[in-house]
């Protein structure tokens, strides 16, 4: 009786762990959507600041410091090495390769071109990040319950194999 009880408890724990593993994957993807939205909003705000205030970049970065990416950029920013700092901050973000490349590509424009071109490039990347976030949200709507259920099913399968 004791052995059967231990096996059943183990089976429940393995199944629950599988479900939690699937949920952890779902939560990580949801955080990525949030980060993409925050980055897009930050780029939009940077474009607005460049267009409307024409303030120096270090001041703008300081005002944007509370946003992801800009917090790292403002810590690392050194007026002579903006492109290098921008690329380093972009590559440090937990994004897919396409989003990182698009964000890092702005290093060639921000601080090097006229305000009009900077705003145009920022808006292009902002839209790309928004589109990536929307696509990931659509995938999550479809895959959300599936990931958790699949994790639990794999846990149950493992339990059957072990019993």
Q: Domain extents for the chain?
A: 2-162
Q: pTM score, two decimals?
A: 0.76
* Cβ-contact 132, 99 below 8 angstroms: yes
Q: What is the pLDDT of residues 71-84, one digit of tens each?
A: 888 777 655 578 88
Torsion, Cα of 92, 95, 97, 100 (10° steps): -60
Q: What is the pLDDT of residues 123-154, one digit of tens each?
A: 999 999 999 999 888 888 777 667 666 666 66
As given in the structure block, the two tokens for residue 144 are 């959300």
Q: Give mean pLDDT, residues 52-65.
A: 82
Sequence-distant (≥ 6) Cβ neighbours of residue 19 within 8 angstroms: 148, 149, 151, 152, 155
């Amino acid at each position: 009786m004791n052995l059967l009880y231990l096996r059943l408890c183990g089976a429940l724990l393995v199944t629950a762990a599988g479900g939690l593993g699937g949920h952890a994957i779902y939560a990580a993807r949801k955080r990525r959507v949030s980060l993409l939205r925050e980055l897009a909003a930050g780029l939009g705000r940077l474009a607005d600041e460049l267009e409307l205030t024409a303030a120096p970049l270090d001041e703008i970065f300081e005002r944007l410091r509370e946003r992801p990416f800009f917090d790292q950029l403002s810590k690392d920013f050194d007026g002579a090495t903006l492109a290098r700092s921008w690329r380093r901050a972009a590559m440090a973000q937990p994004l897919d390769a396409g989003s990182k490349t698009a964000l890092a590509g702005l290093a060639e424009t921000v601080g090097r071109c006229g305000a009009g071109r900077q705003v145009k490039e920022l808006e292009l990347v902002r839209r790309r990040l928004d589109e990536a976030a929307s696509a990931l949200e659509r995938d999550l709507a479809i895959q959300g319950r599936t990931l958790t259920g699949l994790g639990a099913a794999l846990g149950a399968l493992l339990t059957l194999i072990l019993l």
